[in-house]
Amino acid sequence: MQDVISSPTRGLDIVANTLPTAPQFGVLPAEEQSGLTDAIHQVRGIVHRPAAQIAELRRAGALSEKGIAAEAEKVKADANKALDRIDAETAKLEDERGAGYERVASGRLQPDGAYGYIEKMPPAPTVEQLMLHREIRDRLSNLKSADVADLYLKAVREGNDAELIAAIEGAPKAFALVTPFTREMARKMRVEMSPFAHQFEHRDFVLEARKRLVAKAREVLAALK
């Protein structure tokens, strides 16, 4: 117990000191690095304040153990509320990441000569396209499932057969031509081939780091008495 009070953020520092860079991706981009560094400082401060307050109560000797325990619970509750706010910020970052991932994985974010990439919402298919897609599905239904999956993933990878992709992805669920697993493979492929892949990897690293920080901070707070 004395070690926790004398160095309240020791366990937190062990986690935090491994976070500012992500070796597998190189140094984090400046914006992500700054946000994570700010979170580290905030969480350290959130844990240090109640630890210092509890230690001061013990040094003052004005309260009984029961009184100190009651005060400790109050300051720890306030600290946990502050950590809840960090969690809320993390959830917002996670939502932003999810929305961005969906834009890329769905194929809505496409190359554009003038601006690099632009989000294009697919227009409703024409009657002619619906008929073509039905014809494509009819032909594909005569193939083995593995062959259909190969054709689909090849089309996604090479990006040269939009009608085949639309036909397969537009198939009624009851008559799906590829499995959900194959559909997810295609989504991941789009992300991995995009110039945004490292952005998602960096954001995932930051999200995991923030969660680890807060989890460790709650452990340290729980141990304070």
- The enclosing H or E element of 110 equals strand 109-112
Query: Residue 24: which pLDDT band, with cuts at 50, 70 and 90?
Result: very low
Long-range residue pairs from 24-29, CB within 8 A, at least 24 positions apart, any chain? 25/198, 25/201, 25/202, 25/205, 28/202, 28/205, 28/206, 29/199, 29/202
The tens digit of pLDDT for each residue in 59-105 reads 888 888 899 889 989 999 999 999 999 999 999 999 999 988 998 89
Domain extent listing, the chain: 2-107+197-223, 123-193
The tens digit of pLDDT for each residue in 159-190 reads 889 999 999 999 999 999 999 999 999 999 99
Please provide the average confidence, as pLDDT, over all residues in the chain: 84
Contact 134, 89 (CB under 8 A): no
Question: What does pTM read for this prediction?
Answer: 0.76
> Which amino acid, residue 95?
D
Q: What distance in Å separates the CA atoms of residue 98 and residue 80, rounded to the nearest whole number?
A: 26
